Every structure is written in C-alpha cells, then in structure tokens.
Amino acid sequence: MKLSELTVAEVAALSDDKKAKIIFGDLTDDGGKGEFVILLGGRFAFLAERCEAAARLYLAGRVSYIIPSGGVAWEYEGGKMTEAEYMKKLAEAYVEMLKQVK
C-alpha cells in the first residue's frame, strides 16, 4: 500500500515512532532548535496533525516562527481559503489550546 492511500484513521493509528520513520527514514530528532518550521500543504485530513506538531515545537521554544504554505483554495466556512490561510488559523488555535493545557 502507498502512503498516499492511507486513511486518516490508519495514519492516526500509527505510533509516533512509525510516523517519524515514514517521514524521516533513519533520521532522529536531536532536540535542537531552529528558527522556523514550515507547514507544507497537502491532504486536508492531515493538516491538523501537522499544525499541532508545529504548535508544540513553537511552545517548547524550539522554533520562533511557524510558516504555513500552500495555495490550493478550499471551500471553508462559506468562502474560499488557501491551505496556508487555513493552517495559520489552525496553528494559532493549537497554540492557544495547548497553552491552556499546560
């Protein structure tokens, strides 16, 4: 099966280690800091997970900026919104939500 054929439920069921292995191969997170994280556009169903991960990096002080990208426009709340605009709103919401959890 191709990764692009996985459903949201199948991806959600994968362990964090398995997801990292799929994305990074044999690379591991060294826990370092960077200036920014880029959120790549993609299938709508997977953007929430990317935004949450970026928000966690931001709140942990590992990045100073979250940069969403993607120009595909979707119907959203009665209008059109690009991937980047949607991810900006979602990442901001995750930052605020995760601040409350701490």
- Are residues 38 and 19 part of one domain? no
Query: Cα 21 vs. chain centroid, distance in angstroms?
Result: 16
**Residue span of the structural domain in which 38 resides:** 31-101
Does the pLDDT of residue 90 top 60, yes or no? yes
Task: Kindly state the helix (H) or strand (E) to which residue 94 belongs, with its residue range.
Answer: helix 83-101
Domain identity same for 49 and 77? yes
| pLDDT classification of 24: cutoffs 50, 70, 90 | low
pLDDT tens digits, 28-84? 778 889 999 999 988 877 888 889 999 999 999 999 999 999 988 888 788 898 999
Q: Are residues 58 and 95 in the same domain?
A: yes
Whole-model pTM: value is 0.74
Q: Quick one: 40 and 84 in the same domain?
A: yes
Same-domain status, 74 and 95: yes
Q: Do 21 and 61 sit in the same domain of this protein?
A: no
* Rounded mean pLDDT, 15-23: 78
Do 82 and 61 have their domain in common?
yes
Same domain, 10 and 49: no
Distance spanning both ends of the chain, measured CA to CA: 38
Residue 12 has pLDDT above 90, yes or no: no
DSSP 57: H
With a CB cutoff of 8 Å and minimum separation 6, the contacts of 102 are 59
Q: How many distinct structural domains can be found in the chain? A: 2
